[in-house]
Amino acid sequence: MALAEVTQTSASGFDGTLLLSYLGLSIAGGLVMYFGVGGMFEWLYYRRRRHDPSSWKCQPTRWPGPKTRRSEIRLGTLNMTAAGALSGLFVYHVATGGRTGVYFDLRTHGLAFTVASALIYFLATDYLLYWAHRLFHRPRLYRLIHRVHHRYGSPTAFAAAAMHPVEFLTYQSVMLVPLFVYPIHAVALAASLVYLNWVALVDHSGIRLHAWFPWQPPATFHDDHHLHFHVNFGQTLGAWDRLHGTWRRADRKYGVEVFGGKGAPSGGGAGEPTSAPPPYIDYGRSAQDGAKPAAEVEAT
């Protein structure tokens, strides 16, 4: 049975109207989520509770200036539009009978296979995103590309997509390219992508929001990534940082020039962590632990 089994009737040849429809719907859907979630956080916290940041803000004493806010939204909108266009092209390819792994009928592979393939896709994608993100924290790539994203040292949800277009397209490729060969149900795929995007918006919100699920760190985990730079690389699963020793530790120093993900000894100088049990920061019980931001100028 062909991998690309769709319920729609395949179009014979190019259909410009159909393509524009999918492009428009995909771009609009992404922007609605981006501005809907970002706008909700903006109204509920940054406007209505601005007078009391210590009760909700990850970094209560740091606020992005007007120039930074405009940059977040402008760059984020550009990238979300590009992502929507890529998604629209992919949906058009599927709808017109192009060869992919996406299927619509649950009977194609059965329920057990559908659940298992969705879980594998989610885990594999999240792990690849961890490594892609960590790759951009290599000194050269960080300075050339990823530093654009770290201009937002006290991020809001709009910073989730505010990054160098090369980096953003890299992450999109991690999620989309496997779909040309990997079998996954369309509903499971849509749910995975919506969840990943939701987590990205929450992680960048700058708000002390609790995690929905036990495998997901709270928003303070990724806010610490922006505060301390080269640490806490994971997005949806904290397990990858635990596995590779890049979860922030209380006995290590971090900063814009401390690369590698494992920090430097708190006594000064670079080096490998000691063999003692690592005192990992417990994001489950506390928010920011009062650490001062590492030195890098944030746009005003």
pLDDT for 141-193, tens place per residue?
999 999 999 999 999 999 999 999 999 999 999 999 999 999 999 999 999 99
235 has a pLDDT exceeding 90: no
Predicted structure pTM score: 0.86
Highest mean pLDDT among 117-121, 247-251, 282-286: 117-121
Which pLDDT score is estimated for 8? 44
Mean pLDDT of 23-48: 97
Reply yes or no on whether the pLDDT at 93 is more than 90: yes
The pLDDT assigned to 265 comes to: 87
* pLDDT of 269 strictly over 80: no
* Residue 293 pLDDT greater than 90, yes or no: no
- Report, as an integer, the average pLDDT of 219-227: 96
Q: Tell whether the model's pLDDT for residue 275 goes beyond 80.
A: no
Q: Give the chain's mean pLDDT.
A: 88
Three-class HEC string of the chain:
CCCCECCCCCCCCCCHHHHHHHHHHHHHHHHHHHHHHHHHHHHHHHHCCCCCHHHCECCCCCCCCHHHHHHHHHHHHHHHHHHHHHHHHHHHHHHCCCCCCEECCHHHCCHHHHHHHHHHHHHHHHHHHHHHHHHCCCHHHHHHCHHHHHHCCCCCHHHHHCCCHHHHHHHHHHHHHHHHCCCEEHHHHHHHHHHHHHHHHHHCCCECCCCCCCCCCCHHHHHHHHHHCCCCCCCCCCHHHHHHCCCCECCEECCCCCCCCCCEECCCCCCCCCCCCCCECCCCCCCCCCCCCCCCCCCC
Residue 14's pLDDT band (boundaries 50, 70, 90)?
Answer: confident
% of the chain with per-residue pLDDT over 70:
87
